[in-house]
Amino acid sequence: MTFPRIGRKPVVDPAGARRYTDESHAITARDVEFSWEGVPLHYIPGEPMATHVINFMHLVLPEGERAMSATLAEALPLIEDERLHEEVVGFVGQEATHAASHKGAREHLAELGMDITPMSRKMDWLVDRILGDRGLSGRAKRAWLCERLGLFAAMEHYTAVVGEWLLTDPALEKAGMHPVMLDMVRWHGAEEVEHRNVAFDAFMYVDGSYARRVRTALIASFTLILLFLSSMNYLFRADPSTEKGRFWPLQLISAIRRGLVPNLKFLVTEIPPYLRPSFHPSQIGDMDIAMRYLAQSPAVNRS
């Protein structure tokens, strides 16, 4: 599915940076508040695997978004375009809020007997070891920054696709997902659509190499597939409930077929659109839907 460009007129300069001249919307971090009291372990009733697909966000995102925020903050001194600089600052603020909110949900799950601390520590170690600044300097430091920007630009493409799904697909609500957790993932999805262009634009401004764009997109897709499958296995084993069933891959396939989980093929099928030379993230998602949800989100309006 493709969507029209939303409210922006991109102009590509000779260096590959995309500038915007027709946009008044400002990206800023929102002060949200979630109350986890009463949210059960399986907050999608009778759907342990669909629940754990959402738990994947709680498990992986705090560390990943911390690394992404650090990388974009590192790139800020290189971004002289005032508009893009402002958007990156807002992006970093939103990602920090996402990380804190998912960490809160993760802590609530631990209180219910699902301790995922060992896996989260591994994630923390992997992120620091693989995606840290590595203490480089000079040209090597700049090249590694560009590589990380390329990786995060590709990953943000996937999160924007998932964000669009969370906002527009009624399956989770029809399944009776707890309203607090549903609000959380839809709020997050709306902000992913809202800032869908920022990491890509920062990458294009600082580097813009098409070869790096191809390479990092393939690496990001392969990494996310492996990380998702290994996390599903871990989350299923960590689930203390006797109602979780036995063979999680079959449960996952069932959840996908019933629309409770996005079809994982998108991690492959979204590569060709992303690699089109004319691609820009404003071609996906619906900003109006995202803004309408953020205007009515209970967590946003409670603060």
Are the C-beta atoms of 223 and 267 separated by less than 8 Å?
no
Asked whether residue 244 carries a pLDDT value surpassing 50, the answer given is: yes
- The count of C-alpha atoms lying within 13 angstroms of the C-alpha of 9, restricted to the half-sphere facing its C-beta, is 3
* Average pLDDT estimate for 260-284: 93
Is pLDDT above 60 for 23?
A: no
Q: How many residues does the chain have?
A: 303
Q: What is the pLDDT of residue 63?
A: 84
Q: Check residue 303 and give its pLDDT.
A: 57
Q: Is the pLDDT of residue 31 over 70?
A: yes
C-alpha 177/C-alpha 193 separation (Å) is: 22
Reported as type and span, the H/E element at residue 12 is strand 10-12
Structure token pair of residue 1: 């599915």
Angle between helices 287-296 and 138-168 in degrees, nearest 10 = 70
**Token pair 């754990």 is at which residue?**
52
Neighbours of 139 (CB within 10 A): 8
Predicted pLDDT of residue 15: 42
Which of these ranges, 125-129, 247-251, 255-259, 270-274, has the smallest mean pLDDT?
125-129
For residue 297, how many C-alpha atoms fall within 13 Å in the half-sphere facing its CB? 28
Per the prediction, the chain carries an average pLDDT of 88
At 24 the pLDDT is: 58
Task: Enumerate domains of the chain plus CATH numbers.
Answer: 48-302 (1.10.620)
Q: Which whole number is the average pLDDT over 276-295? A: 92
Q: Per-residue confidence at 245, pLDDT binned at 50, 70, 90?
A: confident
pLDDT tens-digit readout, 43-65: 999 999 999 999 998 988 888 88
Band of residue 132 on the pLDDT scale cut at 50, 70, 90: confident
Please name every residue paired with 57 in a beta bridge, in sequence order, or none if there are none: none
**Alpha-carbon Rg for the chain in angstroms:** 19
pLDDT at 290 over 70: yes
Contact 43, 184 (CB under 8 A): no
Report the DSSP beta bridge partners of residue 12: 18
Among candidate residues 88, 90, 92, 66, the one with its CA nearest the CA of residue 17 = 88
Higher pLDDT, 133 or 251: 251
pLDDT at 61: 81
pTM over 0.85: yes
Residue 4's pLDDT is: 32
Q: Which pair of structure tokens corresponds to residue 195? A: 């800032």
Average pLDDT over residues 70-99: 94
In 3D space, the residue among 67, 63, 155, 179 whose CA is nearest the CA of residue 116 turns out to be 63
pLDDT at 1: 34
Closest CA to 284 of 165, 198, 161: 161
